[in-house]
C-alpha cells in the first residue's frame, strides 16, 4: 500500500469494501479529467498534445505527473525502473498479493517459477485447448443465431478468454458460471462502483450491485481459484502453470509462495489475463463491423489457411499475419490498459519537472497511441500500420499495449494467439452484427471499457 492509502478507515469498513476505492486512490482522483461526454479520453489527449513533456497536475492534494512521450516511458519502465514502484491502491480485492502488485526481489522470486508457462515454445502445446474453448463458443453462438437475441460482446469474449485460460494454463474445465463471475468482477473493476460501495458502507446501508451484493461478489471472486483447482482435469498434463505454482507452494525452501499466493496468482490470471484479452476481441469486432473490407480480409486469411471447415494447426496459427495486425491496431486505438500508474520512490527529474518520493506517475498509453506525432490520422483504423516494414520505422516506446521493460505483460504474446484463433474461427462461421450506437462510447475504468457495452446480433453465414 502506498502512503496515500486510507489506513484509518480500513478498520471501520466492512470486509467486502476494504481495500476498495480509498477516496484518495488515483482511480478516483483522475475522474474529473474523464468527463468529456463525447470521448472521456480527450481532455488527457489534448493536454498531452498541447503541453507535451511531463505535465504536473495537482488533484485533491495529490501530485500526478502525466507522461506521454516515448523517452519518458523508457526512463520510468526500463532505464530507471527500480525507482518507480507499482501502484495498486483500491484494487486489492481483485489481485490480493499477486506478482502484478509487488516489487523488487520478492516480485522476481514469485515470477520466476511461472515464467516458463509463457515461453512461446509452450504455445503449440496450448493450441488444442484454446481451440476446445473456441469450439464451445461456436456452439453457444449457434444458439444465439437461432434465438436472434442480441448479446453483449465483452461478456461473450470474457467467458471465452476465461475458458481458454482455465484449459490451457490450468488444465481445468471452467467450473464456474462465467456470466455470474463476470458480474462479480465488474463490481470491482468499475472504479465508479467502488465509490458507491464505499459511500453506502459508510452509511451502513444495504446495497446491491448488478444481481448480487458487493459482499457476495467479493466472496464469489475470492473462492473462484479454489473452485478451479478442484475442477476436473482436461488432460492430466504435468507442466501447466497451475502445477508450476503448486510445486512452488510445496517447496519447503520457498515459504513466500504459500497457498494464498497460489490463490492470488490465479485471481490475477483470471482477471488480468481475461478482461484485457476480452476487451481487445470485443473492440476488434466492433471496429470490423465498421470496416467490412477489413473483416473480409480476415475471413479470407482464415479460409486460405484452414479451408472452409478445418481448424488452424500450429503452422496456420503462426501464419495468421493479417489477423494479428488487425488485433494490434485494435489495441492501439483501444488499449485495454489505457494508463500505467507508478509511485516515485526517490527524487528525480523528468523533462525539467521535479519528482518527489510519493508522487504519482501516470503513463498514458492512450495518449501516445493517438498522438499524430507518432501515428498519422490516429483515429483511423488501419491495420497496415503493423506490417513488418512499417513497424521497423516506428518510434520505440510509441506503442505500449503491454507496457514495457521487466514489468511488461507476461501474457501479451499468448493473448494475441488467443484472439487471432478466435477471430479466424468465429468470423468464418458467423456475421456478428453490431446493433449499438456509433461511435461506441468509451468508459475508462481501470480498463478501457465500452460505456453501454457492445451489443451484437449473431447471424450464421
Ligand atoms: C490484450 C491482452 C492484454 C493486455 C492489453 C495486457 C496488458 C498488460 C499491461 C499493460 C501490463 C503491465 C501493467 C503495468 O505495468 O502497470 C500487464 C501485466 C501483466 N499481465 Fe497482461 N495484458 C494482456 C493479457 C494478459 C494475459 C493473457 C495474461 C496471462 C494469462 C496476462 C498476465 C499479466 C500479468 C501476470 C502481468 C503482471 C506481470 C508482472 O508484473 O510481472 N496479461 N498486462
Residue 50 C-alpha to ligand 1 middle, in angstroms? 30
Asked if residues 181 and 155 have their Cβ atoms less than 8 Å apart, the reply is no
Q: What is the CA radius of gyration of the chain?
A: 22
> In this structure, is residue 238 part of a structural domain?
no
> In this structure, is residue 9 part of a structural domain?
yes
Question: Does residue 201 line the site of ligand 1, with CB under 6 A?
Answer: no
**Residue 102 Cα: closest atom of ligand 1:** 40
**Residue 86 Cα: closest atom of ligand 1:** 16
> In this structure, is residue 91 part of a structural domain?
yes
Provide the pLDDT for residue 192. 60
Q: Which residues contact 237 (CB under 8 A, 6 or more apart)?
A: 125, 171, 243
> In this structure, is residue 52 part of a structural domain?
yes
Residue 410 C-alpha to ligand 1 middle, in angstroms? 6
Provide the pLDDT for residue 341. 93
Q: Tens place of pLDDT for every residue, the chain, 461 residues?
A: 333 333 333 334 444 444 455 556 677 778 788 888 888 899 999 988 888 879 999 887 789 999 989 999 999 999 999 999 998 776 777 788 999 999 999 999 999 999 999 999 999 999 999 999 999 999 999 999 999 999 999 999 999 999 999 999 999 999 888 777 877 777 766 666 666 655 655 444 443 443 346 667 777 888 899 999 999 999 989 899 999 999 999 999 999 999 999 999 999 999 889 999 999 999 999 999 999 999 999 999 999 999 888 899 999 999 999 999 999 999 999 999 999 999 999 999 999 999 999 999 999 999 999 999 999 999 999 999 999 988 888 999 999 999 999 999 999 999 999 999 999 999 999 999 999 999 999 988 888 999 889 999 999 99
Residue 277 C-alpha to ligand 1 middle, in angstroms? 9
**Residue 403 Cα: closest atom of ligand 1:** 10
Question: Does residue 162 line the site of ligand 1, with CB under 6 A?
Answer: no
Parent domain of 1: 1-97+338-366
Residue 309 C-alpha to ligand 1 middle, in angstroms? 33
* DSSP string computed for 39-52: -TTHHHHHHHHHH-
Q: How far apart are CA 49 and CA 379, in angstroms?
A: 14
Q: How far apart are CA 443 and CA 451, in angstroms?
A: 5
Residue 360 C-alpha to ligand 1 middle, in angstroms? 20
Provide the pLDDT for residue 81. 96
Question: Does residue 274 line the site of ligand 1, with CB under 6 A?
Answer: no
Residue 204 C-alpha to ligand 1 middle, in angstroms? 36
> What CATH number should be reported for the domain holding residue 82?
3.30.43.20
> In this structure, is residue 213 part of a structural domain?
no
> In this structure, is residue 419 part of a structural domain?
no
Angle subtended at Cα 43 by Cα 40 and Cα 46, rounded to the nearest 5 degrees: 130
Residue among 19, 22, 14 nearest 216 (CA): 14
Question: Does residue 165 line the site of ligand 1, with CB under 6 A?
Answer: yes
Provide the pLDDT for residue 323. 98
**Residue 126 CB-density burial (10 A; 0-12 exposed, 13-18 middle, 19+ buried):** buried
Question: Does residue 339 line the site of ligand 1, with CB under 6 A?
Answer: no
How many residues are recorded in the chain?
461
Provide the pLDDT for residue 196. 62
Provide the pLDDT for residue 2. 38
**Residue 101 Cα: closest atom of ligand 1:** 40
Residue 312 Rama label (left phi>0; alpha psi -120 to 50; beta): beta
Residue among 287, 268, 257, 288 nearest 228 (CA): 268
Asked if residues 210 and 152 have their Cβ atoms less than 8 Å apart, the reply is no
Nearest CA to ligand 1 atom 4: 276
* Residue to mutate, 228, 272, 366, 415, ligand 1, most ligand atoms under 8 Å from C-beta: 272
The three grid cell numbers given for residue 246, joined into one nine-digit string: 503448486
Question: Does residue 99 line the site of ligand 1, with CB under 6 A?
Answer: yes
Q: Which residues contact 203 (CB under 8 A, 6 or more apart)?
A: none
Structural domains of the chain, count:
1
**Residue 418 Cα: closest atom of ligand 1:** 27
Nearest CA to ligand 1 atom 30: 273
> In this structure, is residue 65 part of a structural domain?
yes
Q: Which residues contact 78 (CB under 8 A, 6 or more apart)?
A: 404, 405, 406
Question: Does residue 415 line the site of ligand 1, with CB under 6 A?
Answer: yes
Q: How far apart are CA 91 and CA 94, in angstroms?
A: 6
**Residue 154 CB-density burial (10 A; 0-12 exposed, 13-18 middle, 19+ buried):** buried
Provide the pLDDT for residue 191. 60
> In this structure, is residue 251 part of a structural domain?
no
Residue 273 C-alpha to ligand 1 middle, in angstroms? 6
Q: How far apart are CA 214 and CA 181, in angstroms?
A: 12
Whether this prediction's pTM lies above 0.85 is answered by: yes
Question: Does residue 282 line the site of ligand 1, with CB under 6 A?
Answer: no
Amino acid at each position: 500500500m502506498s502512503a496515500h492509502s486510507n489506513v484509518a478507515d480500513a478498520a471501520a469498513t466492512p470486509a467486502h469494501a476494504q481495500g476498495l476505492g480509498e477516496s484518495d486512490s488515483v482511480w478516483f482522483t483522475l475522474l474529473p479529467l474523464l468527463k468529456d461526454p463525447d470521448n472521456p479520453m480527450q481532455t488527457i489527449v489534448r493536454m498531452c498534445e498541447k503541453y507535451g513533456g511531463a505535465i504536473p497536475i495537482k488533484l485533491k492534494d495529490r501530485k500526478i505527473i502525466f507522461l506521454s512521450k516515448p523517452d519518458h516511458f523508457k526512463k520510468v519502465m526500463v532505464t530507471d525502473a527500480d525507482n518507480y514502484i507499482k501502484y495498486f491502491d483500491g484494487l486489492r480485492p481483485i489481485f490480493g498479493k499477486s506478482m502484478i502488485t509487488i516489487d523488487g526481489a520478492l516480485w522476481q522470486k514469485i515470477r520466476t517459477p511461472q515464467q516458463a508457462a509463457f515461453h512461446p515454445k509452450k504455445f503449440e502445446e496450448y493450441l488444442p485447448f484454446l481451440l476446445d474453448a473456441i469450439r464451445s463458443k461456436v456452439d453457444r453462438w449457434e444458439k444465439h443465431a437461432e434465438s436472434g437475441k442480441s448479446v453483449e460482446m465483452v461478456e461473450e469474449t470474457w467467458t471465452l478468454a476465461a475458458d481458454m485460460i482455465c484449459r490451457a494454463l490450468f488444465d481445468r474445465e471452467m467450473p464456474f458460471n462465467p456470466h455470474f463471475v463476470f458480474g462479480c468482477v465488474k463490481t470491482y473493476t468499475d472504479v465508479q462502483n467502488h465509490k458507491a460501495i464505499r459511500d453506502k458502507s459508510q452509511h451502513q446501508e444495504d446495497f446491491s450491485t448488478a444481481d448480487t451484493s458487493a459482499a457476495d461478489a467479493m466472496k464469489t471472486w475470492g473462492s473462484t481459484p479454489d473452485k478451479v483447482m478442484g475442477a476436473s482435469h482436461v488432460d492430466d498434463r504435468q507442466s501447466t502453470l497451475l502445477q508450476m505454482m503448486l510445486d512452488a507452494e510445496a517447496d519447503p525452501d520457498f515459504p513466500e509462495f504459500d497457498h494464498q499466493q497460489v490463490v492470488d496468482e490465479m485471481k490475477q490470471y483470471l482477471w488480468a489475463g481475461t478482461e484485457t484479452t476480452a476487451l481487445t476481441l470485443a473492440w476488434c469486432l466492433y471496429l470490423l463491423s465498421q470496416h467490412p473490407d477489413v473483416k473480409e480480409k480476415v475471413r479470407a486469411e482464415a479460409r486460405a489457411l484452414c479451408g472452409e471447415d478445418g481448424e488452424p494447426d500450429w503452422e496456420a496459427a503462426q501464419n495468421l499475419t493479417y489477423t494479428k495486425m488487425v488485433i494490434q491496431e485494435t489495441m492501439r486505438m483501444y488499449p485495454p490498459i489505457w494508463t500505467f500508474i507508478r509511485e516515485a520512490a526517490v527524487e528525480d527529474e523528468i523533462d525539467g519537472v521535479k519528482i518527489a518520493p510519493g508522487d504519482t506517475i501516470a503513463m498514458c498509453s492512450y495518449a501516445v497511441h493517438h498522438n499524430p506525432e507518432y501515428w498519422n490520422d490516429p483515429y483511423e483504423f488501419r491495420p497496415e500500420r503493423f506490417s513488418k516494414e512499417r513497424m521497423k520505422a516506428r518510434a520505440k516506446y510509441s506503442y505500449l499495449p503491454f507496457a514495457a521493460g521487466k514489468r511488461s505483460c507476461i501474457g501479451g504474446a499468448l493473448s494475441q494467439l488467443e484472439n487471432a484463433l478466435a477471430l479466424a474461427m468465429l468470423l468464418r462461421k458467423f456475421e456478428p452484427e453490431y446493433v449499438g450506437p456509433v461511435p461506441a462510447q468509451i468508459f475508462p475504468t481501470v480498463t478501457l471499457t465500452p460505456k453501454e457495452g457492445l451489443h451484437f446480433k449473431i447471424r450464421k453465414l
